Protein backbone atom coordinates (compact mmCIF):
# COMPACT_ATOMS: atom_id res chain seq x y z
CA UNK A 1 0.00 0.00 0.00
CA UNK A 2 1.45 3.35 -1.08
CA UNK A 3 -0.12 5.25 1.80
CA UNK A 4 1.76 3.03 4.28
CA UNK A 5 5.16 3.51 2.62
CA UNK A 6 7.45 5.38 5.01
CA UNK A 7 4.51 6.77 6.96
CA UNK A 8 5.05 10.06 8.81
CA UNK A 9 4.11 10.43 12.48
CA UNK A 10 0.59 11.75 11.83
CA UNK A 11 -1.83 9.99 9.49
CA UNK A 12 -5.28 11.48 8.85
CA UNK A 13 -8.08 9.55 7.15
CA UNK A 14 -11.01 11.52 5.71
CA UNK A 15 -13.92 10.90 3.36
CA UNK A 16 -17.71 10.75 3.08
CA UNK A 17 -19.69 8.67 5.53
CA UNK A 18 -19.81 4.98 4.68
CA UNK A 19 -16.64 4.79 2.55
CA UNK A 20 -14.76 2.81 5.22
CA UNK A 21 -12.32 5.35 6.62
CA UNK A 22 -12.71 4.06 10.21
CA UNK A 23 -12.00 0.48 9.16
CA UNK A 24 -8.93 1.52 7.14
CA UNK A 25 -7.65 3.71 10.00
CA UNK A 26 -8.06 0.79 12.43
CA UNK A 27 -6.40 -1.68 10.05
CA UNK A 28 -3.50 0.74 9.55
CA UNK A 29 -3.07 1.05 13.31
CA UNK A 30 -3.03 -2.74 13.71
CA UNK A 31 -0.46 -3.16 10.93
CA UNK A 32 1.91 -0.51 12.31
CA UNK A 33 1.56 -1.90 15.83
CA UNK A 34 2.43 -5.36 14.50
CA UNK A 35 5.71 -3.86 13.28
CA UNK A 36 6.58 -3.06 16.89
CA UNK A 37 5.71 0.63 16.73
CA UNK A 38 3.71 2.24 19.53
CA UNK A 39 0.55 3.64 17.96
CA UNK A 40 -2.22 5.91 19.20
CA UNK A 41 -5.48 5.71 17.23
CA UNK A 42 -7.73 8.76 17.66
CA UNK A 43 -11.29 9.09 16.37
CA UNK A 44 -13.03 12.44 16.04
CA UNK A 45 -15.88 11.01 13.97
CA UNK A 46 -19.33 11.80 15.44
CA UNK A 47 -20.37 8.35 14.21
CA UNK A 48 -17.29 6.66 15.63
CA UNK A 49 -17.41 2.90 16.03
CA UNK A 50 -13.73 2.28 16.83
CA UNK A 51 -14.67 0.66 20.11
CA UNK A 52 -17.13 -1.61 18.32
CA UNK A 53 -14.50 -2.57 15.73
CA UNK A 54 -12.08 -3.74 18.44
CA UNK A 55 -14.73 -5.06 20.80
CA UNK A 56 -13.42 -2.72 23.50
CA UNK A 57 -14.99 0.06 25.54
CA UNK A 58 -12.81 3.08 24.74
CA UNK A 59 -14.42 6.49 25.15
CA UNK A 60 -12.73 9.82 25.82
CA UNK A 61 -9.60 8.44 27.45
CA UNK A 62 -6.45 6.79 26.10
CA UNK A 63 -7.10 3.05 26.38
CA UNK A 64 -4.78 0.14 25.67
CA UNK A 65 -6.21 -2.36 23.17
CA UNK A 66 -5.66 -5.61 25.06
CA UNK A 67 -5.60 -7.85 21.98
CA UNK A 68 -3.06 -5.68 20.10
CA UNK A 69 0.29 -5.02 21.77
CA UNK A 70 1.63 -1.50 21.12
CA UNK A 71 -1.82 -0.06 20.29
CA UNK A 72 -3.80 2.51 22.25
CA UNK A 73 -7.01 4.24 21.23
CA UNK A 74 -8.95 7.38 22.10
CA UNK A 75 -12.48 8.33 21.03
CA UNK A 76 -12.94 12.08 21.27
CA UNK A 77 -16.64 12.76 21.74
CA UNK A 78 -17.29 15.73 19.44
CA UNK A 79 -20.92 15.95 20.53
CA UNK A 80 -19.89 16.33 24.17
CA UNK A 81 -17.23 18.86 23.19
CA UNK A 82 -19.79 20.82 21.17
CA UNK A 83 -22.24 20.74 24.10
CA UNK A 84 -19.52 22.14 26.37
CA UNK A 85 -19.08 24.97 23.86
CA UNK A 86 -22.79 25.68 23.83
CA UNK A 87 -23.01 25.72 27.61
CA UNK A 88 -20.00 28.00 27.89
CA UNK A 89 -21.38 30.54 25.42
CA UNK A 90 -25.09 30.44 26.10
CA UNK A 91 -24.92 30.14 29.89
CA UNK A 92 -23.89 33.75 30.63
CA UNK A 93 -26.62 35.27 28.40
CA UNK A 94 -29.50 33.00 29.36
CA UNK A 95 -32.01 35.07 31.27
CA UNK A 96 -30.24 38.26 30.21
CA UNK A 97 -31.04 38.39 26.49
CA UNK A 98 -34.53 37.75 25.08
CA UNK A 99 -35.42 34.08 24.66
CA UNK A 100 -35.66 34.46 20.87
CA UNK A 101 -32.08 35.78 20.73
CA UNK A 102 -30.82 32.96 22.97
CA UNK A 103 -32.63 30.41 20.77
CA UNK A 104 -30.90 31.88 17.71
CA UNK A 105 -27.47 31.63 19.37
CA UNK A 106 -28.12 28.04 20.41
CA UNK A 107 -29.13 27.10 16.88
CA UNK A 108 -26.01 28.77 15.47
CA UNK A 109 -24.06 26.33 17.66
CA UNK A 110 -25.94 23.19 16.57
CA UNK A 111 -24.44 22.57 13.14
CA UNK A 112 -21.64 20.45 11.78
CA UNK A 113 -19.15 23.32 11.94
CA UNK A 114 -19.50 23.54 15.73
CA UNK A 115 -18.95 19.80 16.09
CA UNK A 116 -15.89 19.84 13.87
CA UNK A 117 -14.25 22.86 15.47
CA UNK A 118 -14.95 21.48 18.94
CA UNK A 119 -13.29 18.21 17.93
CA UNK A 120 -10.32 20.12 16.49
CA UNK A 121 -10.03 21.96 19.80
CA UNK A 122 -9.88 18.60 21.56
CA UNK A 123 -7.13 17.02 19.46
CA UNK A 124 -5.02 20.15 18.99
CA UNK A 125 -2.93 19.08 21.97
CA UNK A 126 -2.19 15.75 20.29
CA UNK A 127 -0.60 17.66 17.40
CA UNK A 128 1.33 20.19 19.46
CA UNK A 129 2.02 18.89 23.00
CA UNK A 130 5.18 16.80 22.75
CA UNK A 131 4.98 15.66 26.36
CA UNK A 132 1.48 14.27 25.86
CA UNK A 133 2.36 12.10 22.86
CA UNK A 134 6.08 11.42 23.24
CA UNK A 135 5.45 7.71 23.88
CA UNK A 136 3.93 7.12 20.42
CA UNK A 137 5.71 6.64 17.11
CA UNK A 138 2.51 7.19 15.11
CA UNK A 139 -0.76 8.95 15.81
CA UNK A 140 -3.60 7.99 13.47
CA UNK A 141 -6.67 10.17 13.18
CA UNK A 142 -10.00 8.87 11.93
CA UNK A 143 -11.54 12.00 10.34
CA UNK A 144 -9.56 15.10 9.45
CA UNK A 145 -10.73 18.72 9.70
CA UNK A 146 -12.02 20.30 6.51
CA UNK A 147 -10.32 23.18 4.75
CA UNK A 148 -13.24 25.38 5.84
CA UNK A 149 -12.54 24.69 9.53
CA UNK A 150 -8.82 25.27 9.14
CA UNK A 151 -9.39 28.58 7.33
CA UNK A 152 -11.72 29.71 10.11
CA UNK A 153 -9.03 29.01 12.68
CA UNK A 154 -6.45 30.87 10.61
CA UNK A 155 -8.53 34.04 10.30
CA UNK A 156 -7.38 37.05 12.28
CA UNK A 157 -9.71 39.17 14.37
CA UNK A 158 -12.00 39.02 17.34
CA UNK A 159 -14.13 35.93 16.82
CA UNK A 160 -16.42 36.44 19.79
CA UNK A 161 -16.88 40.14 19.04
CA UNK A 162 -17.96 39.35 15.51
CA UNK A 163 -20.79 37.12 16.71
CA UNK A 164 -21.86 39.34 19.60
CA UNK A 165 -22.04 42.40 17.35
CA UNK A 166 -24.36 40.52 15.00
CA UNK A 167 -22.24 41.31 11.95
CA UNK A 168 -22.85 38.07 10.10
CA UNK A 169 -25.35 35.32 9.53
CA UNK A 170 -25.25 32.83 12.39
CA UNK A 171 -24.02 29.73 10.65
CA UNK A 172 -20.53 28.59 11.54
CA UNK A 173 -18.98 31.56 13.34
CA UNK A 174 -20.81 30.66 16.54
CA UNK A 175 -18.32 28.06 17.74
CA UNK A 176 -15.46 30.49 17.30
CA UNK A 177 -16.91 32.55 20.14
CA UNK A 178 -16.11 29.68 22.49
CA UNK A 179 -12.44 29.28 21.65
CA UNK A 180 -10.51 30.25 24.78
CA UNK A 181 -7.09 28.80 24.05
CA UNK A 182 -4.18 30.81 22.76
CA UNK A 183 -4.11 31.29 19.01
CA UNK A 184 -0.49 30.15 19.02
CA UNK A 185 -1.62 26.60 19.79
CA UNK A 186 -3.97 26.55 16.80
CA UNK A 187 -1.26 28.06 14.62
CA UNK A 188 1.14 25.28 15.65
CA UNK A 189 -1.52 22.63 14.96
CA UNK A 190 -2.19 23.94 11.47
CA UNK A 191 1.56 24.07 10.79
CA UNK A 192 1.83 20.41 11.82
CA UNK A 193 -0.97 19.51 9.42
CA UNK A 194 0.76 21.31 6.56
CA UNK A 195 4.20 19.73 7.18
CA UNK A 196 4.61 16.74 4.81
CA UNK A 197 7.41 15.37 6.99
CA UNK A 198 5.01 15.09 9.90
CA UNK A 199 1.56 14.59 8.34
CA UNK A 200 -0.06 12.56 5.57
CA UNK A 201 -3.71 12.98 4.58
CA UNK A 202 -5.42 9.91 3.18
CA UNK A 203 -8.55 10.58 1.11
CA UNK A 204 -10.85 7.56 1.24
CA UNK A 205 -13.47 7.02 -1.49
CA UNK A 206 -15.42 4.25 -3.19
CA UNK A 207 -15.54 3.47 -6.91
CA UNK A 208 -18.62 5.67 -7.16
CA UNK A 209 -18.96 9.08 -8.77
CA UNK A 210 -20.34 10.92 -5.69
CA UNK A 211 -17.57 9.82 -3.33
CA UNK A 212 -14.86 10.51 -5.92
CA UNK A 213 -16.31 13.98 -6.51
CA UNK A 214 -16.20 14.57 -2.75
CA UNK A 215 -12.58 13.37 -2.60
CA UNK A 216 -11.68 15.73 -5.46
CA UNK A 217 -13.34 18.66 -3.68
CA UNK A 218 -11.57 17.82 -0.41
CA UNK A 219 -8.22 17.48 -2.19
CA UNK A 220 -8.49 20.90 -3.82
CA UNK A 221 -9.75 22.57 -0.65
CA UNK A 222 -6.92 21.21 1.50
CA UNK A 223 -4.21 21.68 -1.12
CA UNK A 224 -5.21 25.34 -1.47
CA UNK A 225 -4.26 25.97 2.15
CA UNK A 226 -0.98 24.08 2.02
CA UNK A 227 -1.99 20.53 2.99
CA UNK A 228 -0.51 18.93 -0.10
CA UNK A 229 0.81 15.57 1.17
CA UNK A 230 -2.20 13.50 0.14
CA UNK A 231 -2.87 9.92 -0.87
CA UNK A 232 -6.02 8.44 -2.39
CA UNK A 233 -7.44 5.10 -1.26
CA UNK A 234 -10.37 3.65 -3.20
CA UNK A 235 -12.04 1.20 -0.91
CA UNK A 236 -14.40 -1.67 -1.60
CA UNK A 237 -13.50 -2.27 -5.27
CA UNK A 238 -15.39 -5.25 -6.67
CA UNK A 239 -12.91 -8.03 -7.54
CA UNK A 240 -12.81 -9.24 -11.13
CA UNK A 241 -12.89 -12.88 -10.06
CA UNK A 242 -16.32 -12.42 -8.48
CA UNK A 243 -17.86 -11.05 -11.68
CA UNK A 244 -18.48 -14.46 -13.21
CA UNK A 245 -21.73 -16.42 -13.34
CA UNK A 246 -23.78 -13.64 -11.72
CA UNK A 247 -25.37 -10.89 -13.79
CA UNK A 248 -25.50 -8.49 -10.83
CA UNK A 249 -21.84 -9.04 -9.96
CA UNK A 250 -20.84 -8.53 -13.60
CA UNK A 251 -22.81 -5.28 -13.76
CA UNK A 252 -21.25 -3.94 -10.54
CA UNK A 253 -17.75 -4.74 -11.75
CA UNK A 254 -18.25 -3.08 -15.14
CA UNK A 255 -19.89 -0.01 -13.57
CA UNK A 256 -17.01 0.46 -11.12
CA UNK A 257 -14.34 -0.01 -13.76
CA UNK A 258 -15.99 2.64 -15.94
CA UNK A 259 -16.06 5.02 -12.96
CA UNK A 260 -12.38 4.40 -12.18
CA UNK A 261 -11.46 5.02 -15.82
CA UNK A 262 -13.12 8.44 -15.56
CA UNK A 263 -11.65 9.43 -12.17
CA UNK A 264 -11.58 13.24 -11.64
CA UNK A 265 -8.46 14.74 -13.16
CA UNK A 266 -7.31 16.44 -9.95
CA UNK A 267 -7.05 13.01 -8.30
CA UNK A 268 -5.13 11.30 -11.09
CA UNK A 269 -1.73 12.59 -9.96
CA UNK A 270 -2.12 11.41 -6.35
CA UNK A 271 -0.52 8.20 -5.16
CA UNK A 272 -3.38 5.70 -5.27
CA UNK A 273 -4.27 2.39 -3.61
CA UNK A 274 -7.24 0.12 -4.19
CA UNK A 275 -8.68 -2.15 -1.52
CA UNK A 276 -10.86 -5.01 -2.68
CA UNK A 277 -14.43 -5.32 -1.45
CA UNK A 278 -14.57 -7.77 1.44
CA UNK A 279 -17.50 -10.07 2.14
CA UNK A 280 -17.24 -9.83 5.92
CA UNK A 281 -18.16 -7.17 8.46
CA UNK A 282 -15.10 -5.19 9.41
CA UNK A 283 -15.47 -5.88 13.11
CA UNK A 284 -12.87 -7.73 15.13
CA UNK A 285 -9.13 -8.13 14.94
CA UNK A 286 -9.14 -10.92 12.36
CA UNK A 287 -11.19 -8.83 9.92
CA UNK A 288 -8.86 -5.84 10.34
CA UNK A 289 -5.79 -7.97 9.65
CA UNK A 290 -7.34 -9.13 6.37
CA UNK A 291 -8.58 -5.75 5.16
CA UNK A 292 -5.33 -4.47 3.64
CA UNK A 293 -4.31 -7.78 2.06
CA UNK A 294 -5.83 -9.66 -0.86
CA UNK A 295 -7.29 -12.94 0.40
CA UNK A 296 -10.12 -15.22 -0.63
CA UNK A 297 -12.52 -14.87 2.27
CA UNK A 298 -15.61 -16.24 0.52
CA UNK A 299 -15.02 -19.87 1.46
CA UNK A 300 -18.30 -21.43 2.59
CA UNK A 301 -20.39 -18.56 1.23
CA UNK A 302 -22.33 -20.92 -1.04
CA UNK A 303 -23.92 -22.43 2.06
CA UNK A 304 -25.37 -19.09 3.20
CA UNK A 305 -29.13 -19.17 3.31
CA UNK A 306 -30.87 -15.92 2.44
CA UNK A 307 -34.58 -15.28 2.79
CA UNK A 308 -36.51 -15.74 -0.45
CA UNK A 309 -38.33 -12.53 0.35
CA UNK A 310 -37.30 -9.30 2.10
CA UNK A 311 -40.28 -8.49 4.27
CA UNK A 312 -40.59 -4.87 3.22
CA UNK A 313 -42.76 -2.78 0.88
CA UNK A 314 -41.47 -1.60 -2.48
CA UNK A 315 -41.24 2.06 -3.41
CA UNK A 316 -44.51 2.06 -5.36
CA UNK A 317 -46.35 1.07 -2.17
CA UNK A 318 -45.17 4.29 -0.53
CA UNK A 319 -46.17 6.23 -3.65
CA UNK A 320 -49.69 4.75 -3.38
CA UNK A 321 -50.03 6.39 0.04
CA UNK A 322 -48.52 9.67 -1.16
CA UNK A 323 -50.86 9.82 -4.15
CA UNK A 324 -54.03 9.66 -2.04
CA UNK A 325 -53.88 13.40 -1.21
CA UNK A 326 -53.68 14.42 -4.87
CA UNK A 327 -51.04 17.10 -4.19
CA UNK A 328 -48.30 18.01 -1.72
CA UNK A 329 -44.58 18.45 -1.20
CA UNK A 330 -42.33 15.37 -1.17
CA UNK A 331 -38.80 16.02 0.11
CA UNK A 332 -36.18 13.33 -0.55
CA UNK A 333 -33.31 13.69 1.91
CA UNK A 334 -30.16 11.83 2.88
CA UNK A 335 -26.38 11.93 2.88
CA UNK A 336 -24.44 12.10 -0.37
CA UNK A 337 -24.07 8.94 -2.40
CA UNK A 338 -27.20 7.13 -1.21
CA UNK A 339 -29.18 7.72 -4.42
CA UNK A 340 -31.54 10.57 -3.52
CA UNK A 341 -31.75 11.94 -7.07
CA UNK A 342 -32.65 8.60 -8.60
CA UNK A 343 -35.32 7.87 -6.01
CA UNK A 344 -36.81 11.38 -6.31
CA UNK A 345 -37.07 10.83 -10.07
CA UNK A 346 -38.64 7.39 -9.58
CA UNK A 347 -41.26 8.84 -7.20
CA UNK A 348 -42.03 11.64 -9.66
CA UNK A 349 -42.42 9.15 -12.53
CA UNK A 350 -44.74 6.97 -10.44
CA UNK A 351 -46.95 9.91 -9.45
CA UNK A 352 -47.11 11.22 -13.02
CA UNK A 353 -47.95 7.72 -14.25
CA UNK A 354 -51.04 7.85 -12.06
CA UNK A 355 -52.20 10.91 -14.00
CA UNK A 356 -51.19 13.38 -11.27
CA UNK A 357 -49.45 16.70 -12.05
CA UNK A 358 -45.85 16.62 -10.80
CA UNK A 359 -43.00 19.12 -10.61
CA UNK A 360 -39.64 17.41 -10.00
CA UNK A 361 -36.99 19.89 -8.92
CA UNK A 362 -33.37 18.99 -8.21
CA UNK A 363 -30.08 20.63 -7.36
CA UNK A 364 -28.04 17.60 -8.30
CA UNK A 365 -25.21 18.51 -10.70
CA UNK A 366 -25.65 15.28 -12.69
CA UNK A 367 -28.05 16.49 -15.38
CA UNK A 368 -28.44 13.13 -17.18
CA UNK A 369 -31.81 12.60 -15.50
CA UNK A 370 -32.99 15.92 -16.89
CA UNK A 371 -31.91 14.86 -20.35
CA UNK A 372 -33.69 11.53 -19.99
CA UNK A 373 -36.97 12.89 -18.63
CA UNK A 374 -37.24 16.03 -20.78
CA UNK A 375 -40.65 15.95 -22.48
CA UNK A 376 -40.85 12.17 -22.18
CA UNK A 377 -43.72 11.81 -19.75
CA UNK A 378 -47.10 13.56 -19.54
CA UNK A 379 -47.91 15.40 -16.29
CA UNK A 380 -44.23 15.76 -15.35
CA UNK A 381 -42.37 19.08 -15.32
CA UNK A 382 -38.67 19.12 -14.46
CA UNK A 383 -36.56 21.98 -13.17
CA UNK A 384 -32.96 22.11 -12.07
CA UNK A 385 -31.29 24.57 -9.74
CA UNK A 386 -27.59 25.21 -10.17
CA UNK A 387 -26.20 25.19 -6.60
CA UNK A 388 -23.10 27.17 -7.58
CA UNK A 389 -25.10 29.93 -9.24
CA UNK A 390 -27.62 30.10 -6.39
CA UNK A 391 -24.85 30.18 -3.79
CA UNK A 392 -22.88 32.84 -5.66
CA UNK A 393 -25.96 35.07 -5.83
CA UNK A 394 -26.69 34.57 -2.15
CA UNK A 395 -23.08 35.29 -1.10
CA UNK A 396 -22.98 38.44 -3.20
CA UNK A 397 -26.29 39.64 -1.73
CA UNK A 398 -25.05 39.13 1.84
CA UNK A 399 -21.71 40.84 1.12
CA UNK A 400 -23.49 43.79 -0.53
CA UNK A 401 -25.87 44.20 2.42
CA UNK A 402 -24.44 42.93 5.69
CA UNK A 403 -20.86 43.27 4.52
CA UNK A 404 -21.18 46.84 3.26
CA UNK A 405 -20.56 48.44 6.67
CA UNK A 406 -17.85 46.06 7.87
CA UNK A 407 -14.15 46.77 8.14
CA UNK A 408 -11.63 44.54 6.36
CA UNK A 409 -11.40 42.16 9.30
CA UNK A 410 -15.17 41.82 9.53
CA UNK A 411 -15.51 41.23 5.79
CA UNK A 412 -12.87 38.49 5.93
CA UNK A 413 -14.83 36.73 8.67
CA UNK A 414 -18.10 37.14 6.80
CA UNK A 415 -16.58 35.83 3.56
CA UNK A 416 -15.34 32.70 5.32
CA UNK A 417 -18.68 32.29 7.06
CA UNK A 418 -20.30 32.27 3.62
CA UNK A 419 -18.08 29.35 2.55
CA UNK A 420 -19.84 27.15 5.09
CA UNK A 421 -21.78 24.15 3.75
CA UNK A 422 -24.81 25.77 5.39
CA UNK A 423 -24.58 28.64 2.89
CA UNK A 424 -25.24 26.40 -0.12
CA UNK A 425 -28.16 24.75 1.65
CA UNK A 426 -29.68 28.15 2.47
CA UNK A 427 -29.18 29.45 -1.06
CA UNK A 428 -30.61 26.35 -2.71
CA UNK A 429 -33.54 26.25 -0.30
CA UNK A 430 -34.40 29.85 -1.13
CA UNK A 431 -34.52 28.82 -4.78
CA UNK A 432 -36.58 25.75 -3.85
CA UNK A 433 -39.00 27.84 -1.75
CA UNK A 434 -40.59 29.20 -4.90
CA UNK A 435 -41.57 25.66 -5.83
CA UNK A 436 -42.88 24.83 -2.36
CA UNK A 437 -45.93 27.02 -2.89
CA UNK A 438 -46.96 24.82 -5.83
CA UNK A 439 -47.55 21.94 -3.39
CA UNK A 440 -51.04 23.25 -2.71
CA UNK A 441 -52.23 22.34 -6.19
CA UNK A 442 -49.83 19.68 -7.54
CA UNK A 443 -47.10 17.34 -6.35
CA UNK A 444 -43.68 18.91 -5.92
CA UNK A 445 -40.89 16.33 -5.52
CA UNK A 446 -37.76 18.00 -4.16
CA UNK A 447 -34.34 16.34 -4.41
CA UNK A 448 -31.44 17.47 -2.20
CA UNK A 449 -33.16 19.21 0.67
CA UNK A 450 -31.65 21.20 3.55
CA UNK A 451 -31.01 19.73 6.98
CA UNK A 452 -33.08 20.60 10.01
CA UNK A 453 -30.21 22.73 11.26
CA UNK A 454 -30.25 24.86 8.11
CA UNK A 455 -34.02 25.24 8.28
CA UNK A 456 -33.79 26.42 11.88
CA UNK A 457 -31.03 28.84 10.91
CA UNK A 458 -33.28 30.29 8.24
CA UNK A 459 -36.05 30.59 10.78
CA UNK A 460 -33.80 32.14 13.43
CA UNK A 461 -31.70 34.51 11.36
CA UNK A 462 -34.11 35.49 8.61
CA UNK A 463 -37.00 35.70 11.11
CA UNK A 464 -39.34 35.42 8.12
CA UNK A 465 -41.64 32.92 9.77
CA UNK A 466 -41.86 34.89 13.03
CA UNK A 467 -42.36 38.21 11.30
CA UNK A 468 -45.21 36.86 9.19
CA UNK A 469 -46.76 35.14 12.20
CA UNK A 470 -46.68 38.37 14.20
CA UNK A 471 -48.06 40.54 11.41
CA UNK A 472 -50.79 38.16 10.28
CA UNK A 473 -51.71 37.15 13.81
CA UNK A 474 -52.66 40.72 14.52
CA UNK A 475 -55.08 40.75 11.58
CA UNK A 476 -56.64 37.36 12.22
CA UNK A 477 -56.02 36.36 8.59
CA UNK A 478 -55.07 32.73 7.91
CA UNK A 479 -51.52 32.35 6.58
CA UNK A 480 -48.92 29.67 5.82
CA UNK A 481 -45.15 30.20 5.69
CA UNK A 482 -42.72 27.75 4.05
CA UNK A 483 -41.56 26.58 7.50
CA UNK A 484 -45.16 25.89 8.57
CA UNK A 485 -45.74 23.90 5.38
CA UNK A 486 -42.65 21.78 6.01
CA UNK A 487 -43.82 21.06 9.57
CA UNK A 488 -47.34 20.08 8.45
CA UNK A 489 -47.44 16.33 7.67
CA UNK A 490 -50.60 16.85 5.62
CA UNK A 491 -48.70 19.12 3.23
CA UNK A 492 -45.15 17.74 3.35
CA UNK A 493 -43.80 14.19 3.36
CA UNK A 494 -40.09 13.76 4.07
CA UNK A 495 -38.44 10.57 2.85
CA UNK A 496 -35.00 9.72 4.28
CA UNK A 497 -32.80 7.63 1.98
CA UNK A 498 -30.05 5.35 3.32
CA UNK A 499 -28.03 2.26 2.44
CA UNK A 500 -28.18 -1.00 4.41
CA UNK A 501 -24.79 -0.35 6.01
CA UNK A 502 -23.89 0.65 9.56
CA UNK A 503 -22.60 4.18 9.00
CA UNK A 504 -25.23 5.35 6.49
CA UNK A 505 -28.03 4.12 8.79
CA UNK A 506 -26.46 5.91 11.75
CA UNK A 507 -26.10 9.11 9.72
CA UNK A 508 -29.72 8.85 8.56
CA UNK A 509 -30.83 8.47 12.19
CA UNK A 510 -28.87 11.62 13.08
CA UNK A 511 -30.55 13.44 10.20
CA UNK A 512 -33.93 12.33 11.52
CA UNK A 513 -33.08 13.75 14.96
CA UNK A 514 -31.98 16.98 13.30
CA UNK A 515 -35.29 17.31 11.45
CA UNK A 516 -37.32 16.52 14.54
CA UNK A 517 -35.54 19.35 16.34
CA UNK A 518 -36.89 21.61 13.60
CA UNK A 519 -40.41 20.29 14.17
CA UNK A 520 -40.36 18.13 11.01
CA UNK A 521 -41.31 14.47 11.41
CA UNK A 522 -39.93 12.21 8.63
CA UNK A 523 -42.71 10.29 6.92
CA UNK A 524 -40.76 7.25 5.67
CA UNK A 525 -37.33 5.76 5.13
CA UNK A 526 -36.10 4.13 1.92
CA UNK A 527 -33.26 1.58 2.01
CA UNK A 528 -31.66 1.93 -1.41
CA UNK A 529 -29.35 -0.30 -3.47
CA UNK A 530 -29.95 -3.35 -1.30
CA UNK A 531 -27.95 -6.42 -2.29
CA UNK A 532 -30.15 -8.64 -0.13
CA UNK A 533 -33.24 -7.56 -2.08
CA UNK A 534 -31.49 -8.44 -5.37
CA UNK A 535 -31.10 -12.16 -4.46
CA UNK A 536 -27.45 -12.47 -5.59
CA UNK A 537 -25.60 -15.67 -6.52
CA UNK A 538 -22.03 -14.41 -6.14
CA UNK A 539 -20.48 -15.78 -2.89
CA UNK A 540 -19.15 -12.35 -1.95
CA UNK A 541 -22.48 -10.65 -2.56
CA UNK A 542 -24.35 -13.34 -0.64
CA UNK A 543 -22.21 -12.68 2.41
CA UNK A 544 -22.75 -8.94 2.12
CA UNK A 545 -26.48 -9.54 1.68
CA UNK A 546 -26.57 -11.45 4.94
CA UNK A 547 -24.85 -8.52 6.67
CA UNK A 548 -27.48 -6.12 5.31
CA UNK A 549 -30.37 -7.94 6.95
CA UNK A 550 -29.49 -6.58 10.40
CA UNK A 551 -29.47 -2.97 9.15
CA UNK A 552 -32.76 -3.38 7.28
CA UNK A 553 -34.30 -4.76 10.45
CA UNK A 554 -32.97 -1.77 12.43
CA UNK A 555 -34.62 0.63 10.00
CA UNK A 556 -37.91 -1.27 10.15
CA UNK A 557 -38.07 -1.76 13.91
CA UNK A 558 -36.18 1.17 15.46
CA UNK A 559 -36.00 4.13 13.12
CA UNK A 560 -38.83 4.35 10.60
CA UNK A 561 -42.60 4.67 10.92
CA UNK A 562 -42.87 3.20 7.44
CA UNK A 563 -40.18 2.10 5.02
CA UNK A 564 -39.42 0.58 1.63
CA UNK A 565 -36.50 -1.42 0.27
CA UNK A 566 -35.13 -0.84 -3.23
CA UNK A 567 -32.72 -3.42 -4.73
CA UNK A 568 -29.38 -2.87 -6.38
CA UNK A 569 -30.04 -3.39 -10.09
CA UNK A 570 -27.90 -4.68 -12.91
CA UNK A 571 -28.68 -1.61 -15.03
CA UNK A 572 -28.42 1.94 -13.75
CA UNK A 573 -31.97 3.28 -13.30
CA UNK A 574 -31.78 6.10 -15.84
CA UNK A 575 -34.78 6.83 -18.02
CA UNK A 576 -38.51 6.63 -17.44
CA UNK A 577 -38.94 2.88 -17.99
CA UNK A 578 -36.05 1.90 -15.73
CA UNK A 579 -37.20 4.32 -13.04
CA UNK A 580 -40.69 2.84 -13.21
CA UNK A 581 -39.24 -0.67 -12.97
CA UNK A 582 -37.14 0.39 -9.97
CA UNK A 583 -40.19 1.70 -8.11
CA UNK A 584 -42.19 -1.46 -8.80
CA UNK A 585 -39.45 -4.01 -8.16
CA UNK A 586 -40.88 -6.56 -5.77
CA UNK A 587 -38.64 -7.74 -2.95
CA UNK A 588 -39.86 -11.31 -3.30
State the catalytic residue, choosing from 14, 16, 17, 45: 45
Long-range contacts of 286-289 (CB under 8 A, 24+ apart): 288/23, 288/26, 288/27, 288/30, 288/53, 289/27, 289/30, 289/31
For 6: left if phi > 0, alpha if psi spans -120 to 50, otherwise beta; the answer is: left
State the catalytic residue, choosing from 15, 17, 18, 452: 18
- 242's CB contacts (< 8 A; 6+ apart) are 249, 253, 298, 538, 539, 540, 541
Vertex 1 angle, CA 260 and 241, to 5°: 55
Q: Please provide residue 139's backbone torsions phi and psi, each rounded to the nearest 5 degrees.
A: -120, 120
Residue 20 appears among annotated catalytic residues = yes
Residue 375 appears among annotated catalytic residues = no
State the catalytic residue, choosing from 14, 15, 17, 22: 22
Strands (E), 490-544: 492-499, 524-530
Residue 18 appears among annotated catalytic residues = yes
Nearest residue to 520 (alpha-carbon basis) of 495, 497, 492, 487: 487
Q: Which spans in 307-463 are helix H?
A: 315-323, 340-353, 368-373, 387-401, 408-417, 421-436, 452-457
State the catalytic residue, choosing from 21, 167, 335, 402: 21
Residue 417 appears among annotated catalytic residues = no
Angle between helices 408-417 and 147-154 (to 10 degrees): 160
Residue 401 appears among annotated catalytic residues = no
Residue 21 appears among annotated catalytic residues = yes
Q: Please provide residue 502's backbone torsions phi and psi, each rounded to the nearest 5 degrees.
A: -60, -55
- Please answer whether residues 502 and 49 qualify as being in contact, where contact means their C-beta atoms are separated by less than 8 angstroms: yes
- Please answer whether residues 126 and 132 qualify as being in contact, where contact means their C-beta atoms are separated by less than 8 angstroms: yes
State the catalytic residue, choosing from 14, 15, 17, 20: 20
- Please answer whether residues 492 and 485 qualify as being in contact, where contact means their C-beta atoms are separated by less than 8 angstroms: yes
CA distance 4 to 29: 10
CA distance 267 to 275: 17
Question: DSSP letter string over 438-467?
Answer: GGGTSEEEEESPPPHHHHHHIIIII-HHHH
CA distance 207 to 347: 26
State the catalytic residue, choosing from 23, 133, 298, 451: 23
State the catalytic residue, choosing from 451, 503, 538, 587: 503
Nearest residue to 22 (alpha-carbon basis) of 2, 52, 67: 52
Residue 45 appears among annotated catalytic residues = yes
Any idea which residues carry the catalytic annotation? Answer: 18, 20-23, 45, 503
Amino acid sequence: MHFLTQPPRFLFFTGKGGVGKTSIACATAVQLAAQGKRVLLVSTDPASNVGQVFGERIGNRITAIAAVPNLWALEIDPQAAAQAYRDRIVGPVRGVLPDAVVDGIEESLSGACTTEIAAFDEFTALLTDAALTQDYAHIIFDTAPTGHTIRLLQLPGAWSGFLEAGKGDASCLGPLAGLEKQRSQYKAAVEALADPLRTRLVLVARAQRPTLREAARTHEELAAIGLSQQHLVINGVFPAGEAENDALATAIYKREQATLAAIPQVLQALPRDQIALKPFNLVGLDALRHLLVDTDATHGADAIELPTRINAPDLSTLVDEIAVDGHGLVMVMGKGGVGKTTLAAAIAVELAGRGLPVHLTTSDPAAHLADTLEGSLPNLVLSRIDPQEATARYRQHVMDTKGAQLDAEGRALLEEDLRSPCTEEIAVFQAFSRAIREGGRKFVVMDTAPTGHTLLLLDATGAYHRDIARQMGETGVHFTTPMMQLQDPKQTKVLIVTLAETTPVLEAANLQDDLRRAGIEPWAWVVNNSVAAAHPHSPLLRQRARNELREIDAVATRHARRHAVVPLLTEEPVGVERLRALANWKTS
